[in-house]
Amino acid sequence: MFNSASELEFSDENNVEEISQFVSLEVSGGTVSTQRSSIIVPEKTGYPDSVYVLAANIFQGIRVEKSSDKILIKYGNEPLPSLPEFEDESVQRLSYELAFSTLKYQDILETMLIDSYIFPSTTIVNHLSSLIIVMLYDFQDRKFQNRVLSDNEESILEVQEVENLLNSFKTKLAAALARCRIKHDALSIYHILPEIVRKQELRASTLPLYAWINTCKISPEEVFINLKKRGYNEVKSVCHIDDKVFAVDQHCYDVLIFPSHLKKDLINIDLFKDYKLIFQDKSRSLAVHSVKSLINLDDDVLMVNTGSWYTVAHMSVLTNDNNSKIFVCGVNSQEKDPDLNNLFKKMGCKNIEILPETFTDIESKDQRLQKVKVILLLPRCSDLGVSNPIEFILNEHEDTDLLKDLSQGGTSEDKLQVLAQHQYEQLAHAMKFVKAQAVVYCTCSVYPEENEAVVKKALEFQNQGTKIQPYRLSPPVLPLCSLKEIHLAKDKFFRMEQSETTNGCFLSILTRERDPSETVSVKDVLARAAAKGLLDGIELGKSSKREKRRKKSKTSLAKPSANDNNGIQMKIAEFLNRETKTSTNRSEALITKALNPQKNASQVGATTQTRKPSKPTINPLTPTLTKNTCHCKPGERHTNFTRPRPEDKMIALKPIEIILPPVMLPFQSPQGIRSQVPNQHFYYRWVRPKTGVPGYLPTPSASRRGEKPKENLPSSLVRRPRPWL
């Protein structure tokens, strides 16, 4: 298959020293030096043959195609034969990583192949070009050292032939790489990449792992206990921590966060093997939790373009205690996952129904979707807010075109316009469903053209019929955990920017007012409050038979209407006004009688006598005022009224309301007397001790004339300050 002369051009034994010199070249300030790095990097041994074949097929589909006048290496269209073991998740992850790395360095690797005369000096079948360039990336990443093969590994003929070819050209390949680094004044091949791509790789290497708890199979408390038994400690933040720790996410109560370096350890524990913990990007958890906060107990949900079946499963788990059904459309389950039902069964999901139609083919009045109240729309977008595209593609089943965009550091303008138009059409169609009350729109894009612009355009051009209420933009239902999040959500959009802890995310909620004829039960209100975390620790149990009987008996009784209650309140108000007027008239009459014309200035100054009735008497004002005492507000100042004395200033008193306690006992301290007022009943029974109660003071007139105050008269009490004087 290859030119035999080319294969034997160089031998390994004669060029080991020369290759090591090329590999150790470093460029610093435009000069070449042979300094050794102080950082110890684990030695790489290569990949199994199956990984190279699958990576070559992936690269064949995502490679950057050049114009016909610039094509130097021809790639075939036929994929390499695959083996059943290629479906293994670990093989897929390694293959995607290798293909993505090759894609980022495609120009450099092609230059190395041409500069070393592998192309066009050798006779190579076109469909092997992808395999050659993929294996070349791994070859230079291993410092052009031989691959270590395991004894039980099954070899593939095409892989063995390409490996022999690269080994025969390794000196020229190492020299070509060194010249490329010098040309770009780069310390390594990594520094030749665009800055935006390098930042993306740096974020991907430190981005924490997010996993949601499958509460259908295990409770959060049991997960915490299990992790702690394995040496994991709970912390508030996993940033810059190299130990075995985890944290609970602030936005989603069922999402845990782990440091990125723990991935290999976590995937081997039973919690992940048994689908009790599921790795997934946080943006998808934010979307399903937003839907959960918007639905009632028996509302259905329609999910569109979910990508990953884990997103569907998470939505099913959150609604497991409801009567809700999860409808899914926009995916071909037969082609993507033939064992889908088995997967849902393992995860404990029972309320999922997959629709065969695409979303735009479903009628807005479809009878199957009459109970759908919320539509979750996860449209295909550029996804440039994703820092770790490999995990995102594997978990979300996203299109591999994402890798092509990320390797170039952005999306072309033409492709962006096509994506935005498709997103608008899906959102506009979602707003046509008559029974739906809310639409949740979520992307991982950083472009406003795919986010705010799509939502605003759909709101502006929505069909505002007479029978249904229009949609409007609603604020986020997720908690805002920082001032930055509050600032980003000021226009009612929920945003998360790319950072060292999260991928980028955009989330918008469109809601319409509920039909006034639809009533919301207390049960629904409690369920919504529980979804928002307001009933933490309170379980909503089913009502017992006795409670149901009580409800039936209560409903059989006639309930007073709102009009009856208003009538009763009006009658009470009229009675209080009437009594107040009567009290005021009596007070004015008494005061007028006391201030009759027979009293002149000389009589006022001459006489200071007080009446001495044989029976206990009560101030005439007292009975009148006590009629209204029940309407006085607690905490109001209590005042005792005595009959005006001639020597005092005679000023008309204003009637006030006082409150009397239902039970009264004699007090032994001034504080007790000051804080309480005797009830009318004790005017007849309470006799003041002769020795005097502490805190009682004689009246001014009695002290001047040496008279003993009357024991059973209210006027014998201490004279209170009168603020109205």
Active-site residues, by number, are 444
Please state the separation of Cα 455 from the chain's center in Å: 20
Q: SS3 letters for 622-679?
A: HHHHHCCHHHCCCCCCCCCCCCCCCCCCCCCCCCCCCCCCCCCCCCCCHHHHHHCCCC
For residue 319, give the H/E element and its range.
Answer: none
Q: Which two tokens stand for residue 670?
A: 């001034």
Contact 122, 2 (CB under 8 A): yes
Contact 2, 165 (CB under 8 A): yes
Nearest to 235 by CA among 262, 267, 275: 262
Contact 126, 76 (CB under 8 A): yes
Cα–Cα distance between 246 and 256 in angstroms, integer?
7
The strand pairing partners of 114, in sequence order, are: none
Residues with Cβ within 8 Å of 27's Cβ and at least 6 positions away in sequence, in order, are 181, 182, 185, 186, 187
Nearest to 368 by CA among 353, 358, 378: 353
Cα–Cα distance between 45 and 149 in angstroms, integer?
8
Coil vs helix vs strand at 687: coil
Q: Tokens 């995102």 label which residue?
A: 392
Cα–Cα distance between 40 and 45 in angstroms, integer?
15
Nearest to 494 by CA among 285, 672, 694: 285
Number of H helices, E strands in the chain: 29, 15
Helix 170-183 / helix 157-168 crossing angle, nearest 10 deg = 70
Cα–Cα distance between 159 and 147 in angstroms, integer?
12
Query: What ranges make up the beta strands (E) of 294-349?
Result: 300-304, 326-329
The strand pairing partners of 301, in sequence order, are: 326, 374
Return contacts of 9-17, CB within 8 angstroms, 24+ apart: 9/168, 9/169, 10/168, 10/169, 10/170, 10/171, 10/172, 12/167, 12/170, 15/170, 15/171
For residue 336, give the H/E element and its range.
Answer: helix 333-336
Nearest to 196 by CA among 384, 393, 414: 384
Please state the separation of Cα 338 from the chain's center in Å: 32
Read out DSSP for 55-114? HHHHHHHHPPPPPGGG--S---SPPPP--GGGGSHHHHHHHHHHHHHHHHTHHHHHHHHH
Give the C-alpha distances (Å, rounded to integers) separating 436 from 47, 458, 470.
50, 16, 11
Cα–Cα distance between 345 and 316 in angstroms, integer?
12
Pairing of strands 505-511, 438-443: antiparallel
